[in-house]
Amino acid sequence: MVNSFKHYLIEEEKAVYFTFGRMNPPTTGHEKLMNELSKKSGNNSYRVYLSQSTDKKKNPLDFKYKVKTVRKFFPKHARSVMLNKKVKTVFDAVTEMYNDGFKNVTMVVGSDRINEFTTLLKKYNGVKGRHGLYNFNKINVISAGDRDPDADDTSGMSASKMRSLANEGDFTQFSQGLPRNVSNADAKKVYNEVRKGMGLKEQIDYFNKLHFEPVSEKREAYVKGNLFNIGDNVVVMATDEVGRVANLGSNYVIIESNNKLLRKWIDDVELLEKDFKDRVKQDKDIKDKKGTQPAPYYKGLEKSTKAKRLSHFKKHAKMDDDNPAAYKKAPGDATAKTKLSKHTIKYRKMFGEDAVEVTKKKIEREKTVDRIKHARMLDRAKVRKLKNRSKAYA
């Protein structure tokens, strides 16, 4: 019974605001959506309806668990989250609200879905269908923000991205997409529920999955074993020296070149092309052996010595670089003439032929002086200690 004209106006203007989404799983994006829904509704009622579809790809969480989780994650909106198994579509939702006596309805969605829902809701207003009948005085669809948190793309922290993170086993990033008030235990629970719904195993061990950009593509290839191998022929870029890889270090290689072992950073050397044999003269006596046998390595040696030398290279190349035996002279090195480096030649020109011996003697003298100074300091300390004892007993 209408008691007054004022009561009649209130009934005519009775309005409700609502949103309808998958929230599978609920994210910080859905939190913003519901906060905006509450704000837009003002003193009017507002409702949150969740879809009931379940599948491994887009809807891993079932309806009841989803309602329970959304209410727990967003306690401020808990009373507005509806649990009605009969409401499966947005048309079921507006029909229920119309039957509850609301005359005006406003749907709050991401800006990218405004046109879609405006067309659908107004098209069937006053038209009876499987959902029943609704006939509102006003139907509005307004924006809650720039994008729909249920969108299928993975930009931003969308539900789609959360499912992708759960699939990849990245709990750390997944948990960052949940509201701040969610405990670590609850985060792990919903994370594993999503994985379970996607047909994946429950994750027991959790770890930070860090993503680093490779510092160097060459370094990455070397670590994976795709750059150099023992026995490869390489060239030192700065000097054009050709050598053979004798050992592999952490970020360097040991090269055997002209009877010398050189330690070079991986960025300082390059692998010789596969046509190395065609470009560099091979030793005539052992050129048919496996690998490349540059003639300079065996120049002036007997055929039997060449074979032993090759065997030595293969054997010692397998040794660790901290093994002294790896640097044992190869057959033929004893009679080979060692060529002085350009740095040694320059040093001798500046300070004389015997500069090295002079420097060694100077270092020895300095060590002797240091030992004498140290001994005298100990003697003085002992004398002071004895004097202090004498004073104590005096």
- Which has more pLDDT, 43 or 382? 43
- What's the rounded Cα separation, in Å, for the pair 112 and 207? 36
Measured CA to CA, the distance from residue 72 to residue 189 in angstroms comes to 13
CA-to-CA distance for 235 and 296, rounded, in angstroms? 14
Per DSSP (E only), the strands in 76-166 are 104-109, 138-143
First to last CA, the chain: 117
The helix (H) or strand (E) run that includes residue 34 is helix 28-41
Highest mean pLDDT of the ranges 186-190, 254-258, 358-362: 186-190
- Token pair of 303 as six digits: 């055929």
Q: Give the C-alpha separation, 394 to 390, whole Å.
A: 6
Q: What are phi and psi of 294, to 5 degrees?
A: -60, 135
Sheet holding 260-265: strands in order across?
Answer: 260-265, 252-257, 241-248, 233-236, 269-271
The answer to whether the CB of 46 falls within 8 A of the CB of 38 is yes
Strand partners, 56: none
> Which of helix, strand or coil describes residue 75?
helix
pLDDT the model gives residue 276: 46
Mean local confidence (pLDDT), 34-39: 93
112: CB partners within 8 A, 6+ apart: 147, 148, 151
- Picking from 159, 195, 190, 198, the residue whose alpha carbon sits closest to that of residue 177 is 159
- State the pTM of this model: 0.51
Render pLDDT for 206-246 as a digit per residue (tens, 0 to 9).
655 555 555 567 777 777 777 888 888 888 888 778 888 88
User: pLDDT tens, 85-138?
Assistant: 999 999 999 999 999 999 999 999 988 889 999 999 999 999 998 889 999 999
Q: Which of 229, 255, 252, 228 is nearest to 242 (CA)?
A: 255
User: Of 178, 202, 196, which Cα lies nearest the Cα of 72?
Assistant: 178
* Closest CA relative to residue 203, chosen from 161, 178, 174, 160: 174
pLDDT, position 17 = 97
Check pLDDT > 60 for residue 280: no
Residue 212 to residue 224: CA distance in whole angstroms: 16
Question: What pairs with residue 81 in β-bridges?
Answer: 48
Assess contact for 29 and 156: CB atoms under 8 A.
yes
pLDDT above 90 covers what percent of the chain?
36
- Cβ burial of 8 (10 Å; 0-12, 13-18, 19+) is exposed
Q: What is the model's pLDDT at position 256?
A: 85
Q: How would residue 275 be classed by pLDDT, with cut points 50, 70 and 90?
A: very low
